[in-house]
Amino acid sequence: MMDERDLEIDDLINDLDKEYYSAHPTANSSYLTTHKSRDLKSLVRLWISERTCPDILPYAHDLLDTMLDRVREQVEVIEVNTTSGDAGGGAKLKLLFVETEVERVKFLVRGYLRARILKIDKYYMHILNNLDMQTRLSQSELRYAKRRGNQLKRYYDLRFLSSLPPSLQRLDDTAGGLQMVEMPDLNEVVFIRVLHDVPGEVDLGNDDKIELRTGNIYVLPYKVIRRHIDNGDVQLV
């Protein structure tokens, strides 16, 4: 819940936005205060979910595009008001708040992308062998995963693989029950908050079942609630 100081900061930022849009009628002024607050909260939840999820979640194309567009708009707001020559004490204070908001969004976006890159580094071979995993990545992330896979393969070939028999040169071998490809641990337990009642009961295995009710928090294996995370019924906390 936002406190009074948050509301004051938002009011100052919104006043500055209105001034900018009044002077630039062709700018995108449809981004209302409620939308900004909603999207910022969504970005925070997205960052938390990616950090706490053992798997890679689907890339949030629309939200990231929206927030980055918003950052570009706010940077333009700062530049316009800085160069307008009318930057008194009150205007400077408003600009400071806008810069703070920009840095807050950039921090969240960087944290979100960094969490995903760490998982791609760890599970790149699993990703390259799994089309479903590839659909969860952005095009830039997929290119990164492929480039990393090719670079490591060349490095291993140069160091030792080329000296081994061809039957032992595969990096994704599963012979003898040995799994060489590192994959996310879907049995890892996670904290979740239920956003919408889940119809029926969730099967936990071993004849154990549980009902997920709105507002409740549970600690459950990721694999049993994965699809409910994907469809938005529950969120990671």
**CATH code, domain carrying 97:** 1.20.58.1030
57-66, 155-164, 169-178, 212-221: the lowest-pLDDT one: 169-178
Q: Report which of 10, 139, 3 is spatially closest to residue 64, judged by C-alpha positions.
A: 139
Tell me how far apart the alpha carbons of residues 135 and 120 are, in angstroms, rounded to a whole number.
Answer: 13
Residue 28 shares a structural domain with residue 119: yes
In a domain, 164, yes or no: no
- For 116, counting Cβ atoms within 10 Å of its Cβ (0-12 exposed, 13-18 middle, 19+ buried), the class is buried
In a domain, 117, yes or no: yes
pLDDT computed for residue 22 by the predictor = 55
Tell me how far apart the alpha carbons of residues 126 and 134 are, in angstroms, rounded to a whole number.
Answer: 10
Residue 22 shares a structural domain with residue 121: yes
pLDDT digit string (tens) for 93-142?
A: 778 888 888 899 999 999 999 999 999 999 998 999 899 999 999 999 99
Contact (Cβ atoms closer than 8 angstroms) between residue 237 and residue 227: no
Domain final position from 134, 151, 178:
134
Between 89 and 154, the more confident residue is 154
How many domains does the chain fold into? 2
Q: Which residues contact 145 (CB under 8 A, 6 or more apart)?
A: 120, 124, 127, 128, 134, 137
Residue 10 shares a structural domain with residue 126: yes
- CATH code for the domain in which residue 218 is found: 3.40.5.60
3-12, 52-61, 139-148: the lowest-pLDDT one: 3-12
Domain assignment of residue 35, given as a range: 4-134
pLDDT computed for residue 170 by the predictor = 67
Sign of the alpha-carbon dihedral angle for 171, 173, 174, 178? negative
pLDDT computed for residue 100 by the predictor = 87
Q: Across 133-227, where does the E strand assignment appear?
A: 189-194, 202-205, 208-210, 217-221
Question: In Å, how far from its chain's centre is CA 131?
Answer: 20
- What tokens does 26 get? 């062709």
Residue 130 shares a structural domain with residue 194: no
In a domain, 144, yes or no: no
In a domain, 171, yes or no: no
What residues pair up with 209 in beta bridges, in sequence order? 203
In a domain, 168, yes or no: no
Tell me how far apart the alpha carbons of residues 75 and 223 are, in angstroms, rounded to a whole number.
Answer: 41
In a domain, 148, yes or no: no
- What tokens does 166 get? 């061809």
Tell me how far apart the alpha carbons of residues 55 and 16 are, in angstroms, rounded to a whole number.
Answer: 40
Long-range contacts of 102-111 (CB under 8 A, 24+ apart): 102/71, 102/74, 102/75, 102/78, 104/40, 105/40, 105/43, 105/67, 105/70, 105/71, 106/71, 108/43, 108/44, 108/47, 109/43, 109/64, 109/67, 109/68, 111/47, 111/51
Residue 123 shares a structural domain with residue 46: yes
pLDDT at residue 69 greater than cutoff 60: yes
Contact (Cβ atoms closer than 8 angstroms) between residue 112 and residue 43: yes
Between 82 and 27, the more confident residue is 82
Domain final position from 134, 151, 167:
134
Tell me how far apart the alpha carbons of residues 209 and 202 are, in angstroms, rounded to a whole number.
Answer: 5
Residue 195 shares a structural domain with residue 126: no
In a domain, 172, yes or no: no
Residue 125 shares a structural domain with residue 9: yes
Length of the chain: 237
Residue 114 shares a structural domain with residue 193: no
In a domain, 159, yes or no: no
